[in-house]
């Protein structure tokens, strides 16, 4: 695997344009939703504080009143309680704020498209063949760069139902986690989106890490759904385009695409802590 080149994105990624209805991209909407939920949590915490003042706090008064730090523990408890309340049983404040800004309902906006697959390699039978490829250890500098985007990757993973380790593996293969990377085919950013792909995925600034990761993950999720969770075919399509995958009835016989899929799966097996020896069958 050591001789595999860094993938250069093929401009055949997208064959049909996607209609963009919202003034905000998915990445922007996720950020707005997170801020609205944090505001609701903060407001809930303030309400709890106000309610507890009449009883001297949940754990008694401050240490001067014999409460032995009760005021401190009350503050911590109130904060955690508010966060849990906002997640489990919303007061509706976040929904109102989100709709005022985006014009969409929070729950509906973040409802995964029909057929969205929560990628679980252990449960998708067609992906058992991934185990035939050995793990590949990423470059340490690339891993350091990648670590800066852990939070965004987690968000994109949750939003689109794509395994976060698969997203990381694609980023490393595409750009070695260099957010300023530009290929000879003019693919740009962490997940190497060409301009037409970026536009069709709702990406406004291809060099913005959040926008790029959400756009790339969105396209990857569409390919996973198209090929019923087959990771190899989804990756081949990400590289060479779905037309070529369909034309050849599988991974196209292009050296770049063959090496690309092997590299991504090798990284994926590394992140999953799996190494199945030297069997390189594909």
| Active-site residue (options: 40, 45, 78, 174) | 174
pLDDT of 256: 95
pLDDT of 208: 93
| Least confident piece of the model among 21-35, 78-92, 98-112, 152-166 | 78-92
Rounded to an integer, the average pLDDT of 4-14 is 46
| CATH architecture, domain defined by 125-271 | Orthogonal Bundle (1.10)
| Least confident piece of the model among 10-14, 46-50, 121-125, 215-219 | 121-125
**In the predicted model, is pLDDT for residue 116 greater than 90?**
no
Is residue 174 part of the annotated active site? The answer reads yes
Alpha carbon 249 to its chain's center: 28
Domains of the chain, residue spans = 26-109, 125-271
Average pLDDT, whole number, for the chain?
74
């Amino acid at each position: 695997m050591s001789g595999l080149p860094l993938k250069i994105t093929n401009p055949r990624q997208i064959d049909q344009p996607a209609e963009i209805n919202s003034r905000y991209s998915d990445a922007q909407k996720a950020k707005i939703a997170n801020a609205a939920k944090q505001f609701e949590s903060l407001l809930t915490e303030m309400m709890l504080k106000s309610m507890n003042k009449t009883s001297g706090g949940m754990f008694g008064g401050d240490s001067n009143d014999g409460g032995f730090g009760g005021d401190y523990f009350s503050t911590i408890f109130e904060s955690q309680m508010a966060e849990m309340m906002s997640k489990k049983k919303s007061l509706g404040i976040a929904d109102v704020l989100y709709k005022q800004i985006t014009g969409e309902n929070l729950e509906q906006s973040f409802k995964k498209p029909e057929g969205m697959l929560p990628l679980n390699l252990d449960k998708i039978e067609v992906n058992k063949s991934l185990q035939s490829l050995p793990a590949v250890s990423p470059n340490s500098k690339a891993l350091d760069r990648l670590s800066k985007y852990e939070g965004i990757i987690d968000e994109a993973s949750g939003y689109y139902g794509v395994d976060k380790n698969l997203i990381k593996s694609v980023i490393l293969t595409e750009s070695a986690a260099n957010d300023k990377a530009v290929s000879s085919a003019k693919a740009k950013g962490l997940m190497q989106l060409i301009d037409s792909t970026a536009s069709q995925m709702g990406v406004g600034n291809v060099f913005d890490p959040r926008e790029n990761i959400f756009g790339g993950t969105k396209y990857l999720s569409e390919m996973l759904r198209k090929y019923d969770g087959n990771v190899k075919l989804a990756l081949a399509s990400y590289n060479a385009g779905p037309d070529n995958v369909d034309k050849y009835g599988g991974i196209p016989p292009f050296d770049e695409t063959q090496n690309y899929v092997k590299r991504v799966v090798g990284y994926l097996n590394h992140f999953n802590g799996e190494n199945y020896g030297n069997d390189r069958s594909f």
